[in-house]
Chain A
Amino acid sequence: MSLLQVQDVGVRFGGLQALQAIDLAVQEGEIFGLLGPNGAGKTTLFNVVSGLTAASSGSVRWRGAAIDGLSSHRIARLGIARTFQNLRLFNSLSCLENVLVGMHQHGRQPPLAALLQMPTFRRRESQLRQQALELLSLFGLESAAHQNAANLSYGDRRRLEMARALASRPQLLLLDEPAAGMNPSEKDDLKNLIRRVRDEFALTVLIIEHHVPLMLGLCDRLAVLNFGQRIALGNPDQVRRDPAVIEAYLGGTP
């Protein structure tokens, strides 16, 4: 059974058909890429999966069970975490607090213990902080732990969003243009980091990125969207050679 299955999904915004009859199946453990020109509907597909946008037709299945119609916090609790193309950090909170918010579902404590700061509460809280710091250092942000998220550089904010998403210990991680605004060497590091994170956290990754060489090098399989339709699907070699892709997206550079 596929981890995530998108079946015949369509999304309509007024007169605009942002997605049309999209079929995808993401297998456990793979890094699955979404390519496509601007406005192709990639982010819209992420929004449907994470419960922010309702599909006008079709359904989304998580381990075989339909999840469309669930609110976004319910979907997050199933183990689907995401980052945002236009960065949505908690800007008045520190980096550490951002990651702690990401741990929300695992941080529940008995109210009385929290109120009275009982030893069990303190132990658990410092455990969570320790885990948050470890995540931050995985992304090279340990020295910025107590800095406000708003004060970070653009690349660091992208990394913090990834750290926050990982904090919920998801099974599926949706990355919306994680390399945007990064320089070539940062992009390279990111590629390795995504692989490493996938292995260490036993993750499945669904990633949107415009940088084609990075995507072809990173993804196990890719789908290409254009004008809301899936025009190609396959491994990097197949996608690279697909005439529809060359025509629509790669502009003739195989």
Chain B
Amino acid sequence: METGLLVQMLLGSLLGLSVYLPLRCGQLSLATPGFYAIGGTVAALLSTRVPALGISDATYPLTSVMLEMLLAALLTGVLALGLGRVVLRLRGIYLAIATIALVEILRVVTLNLEFTGGALGIFGIPQPFSGPEGYAALTFVVLAVVCWLCDRLEKTRPGRAMAAIRDDELAAASQGINTADTKLMAFVLSALVAGVTGVVAAHFLNSWNAKLGNFDASITTLAFVVFGGSRTWLGPVFGGLLLTALPELLRPVGDLRLIVFGAVILVGPLFFPQGLITPELFQTLRRRMGRSAAPSPQGGRP
């Protein structure tokens, strides 16, 4: 497999996780591409316009990339904090529509601003690595950190509160859970992940323009989670990897590939309404493995 594709797959997983975080507490937010675009724009602007960061160095310093990530996280975090307070009052499909509108507004604004390069975007973003291997390593590290955070979140009190809100928001509030704050936290985390991903993507793609955060991207990233599953962080990681790779792997099929791709996205949820990866899947696997190794102690449960 091409290393460049691997980087894209890892970036896909990160965007899947960004959609997953609000969804884990029942909030269908499609704002991920918007925050992704902001992250990318921050990286593109800083690295091309601020000489002190090292654009003239032979290879762009990794510490500068880190600094961009930090600033992108700060900006997207603050934005999400403000926007989330307003849009998270909406529920279900209304939240989805409002966040799509946010992404569109952002796209149109970026398209018409002078300093973001207008429709053409920003070119010649400096490279911290000489080849895709470096990007693969960096993206992998970022993905690993985000996965670790998600795993810790799921296994602790805030994660339980998120799941409770997803199942029944009113009952969750009756257990003393501040549902508004919990949803806001998930929304902000989602924005941080998308923003940081945008920074990596901007360097990797070498150029950045408004098209990268459009409605199509909203739907594609949602498909990662619907396909992979929204109950554990492994779902969107798997969905992001697979659905990013699929169009490329299907290239030999020619024009049919888009139809096959569409069919996969359609058929997946039909047969696996919870997504491919669910906690039950792990339970089943564990039980199977337990049974082959030693008789299961709690085997005979009806």
Contacts and interface: CB of A to CB of B under 8 A. Distances in A.
Contacts, number: 80
B174 A50 contact: yes
A93 B178 contact: no
B138 interface: no
Contacts of A25: none
B160 A100 contact: yes
A93 B167 contact: yes
B161 A109 contact: no
Nearest to A164: B175
A40 B171 CA distance: 23
Contacts of B166: 92
Interface string B166-193: 1110111111111100000000000000
Question: How many residues of B sit at the interface, in one of the four size bands?
Answer: 20 to 34
B163 interface: yes
A92 B174 contact: no
Question: How many residues of A sit at the interface, in one of the four size bands?
Answer: 20 to 34
A76 interface: yes
B168 A88 contact: yes
B164 A90 contact: yes
A52 B174 CA distance: 9
B171 A90 contact: yes
The binding surface of chain B is classed by DSSP as: helix
A114 to B, nearest CB: 5
B176 A77 contact: yes
Contact of A114 (B156, B161, B164, B176): B156
A101 interface: yes
Contacts of B172: 90, 101
B179 A73 contact: yes
B157 A114 contact: yes
B225 to A, nearest CB: 16
Contacts of A93: 160, 163-164, 167
B170 A88 contact: yes
A168 B175 CA distance: 7
A71 B173 contact: yes
Contacts of B175: 73, 76, 81, 101-102, 104-105, 164, 168
A108 B157 CA distance: 7
A101 B174 contact: no
26 contacts: A72-B170, A73-B173, A73-B178, A73-B179, A76-B173, A76-B175, A81-B175, A88-B174, A89-B171, A90-B163, A90-B164, A90-B171, A90-B172, A91-B167, A93-B160, A93-B164, A93-B167, A97-B160, A101-B160, A101-B163, A101-B175, A102-B175, A105-B175, A105-B176, A114-B157, A168-B176
Nearest 8 CB-CB pairings of A with B = A76-B176, A88-B171, A90-B167, A105-B176, A72-B173, A101-B164, A77-B176, A73-B173
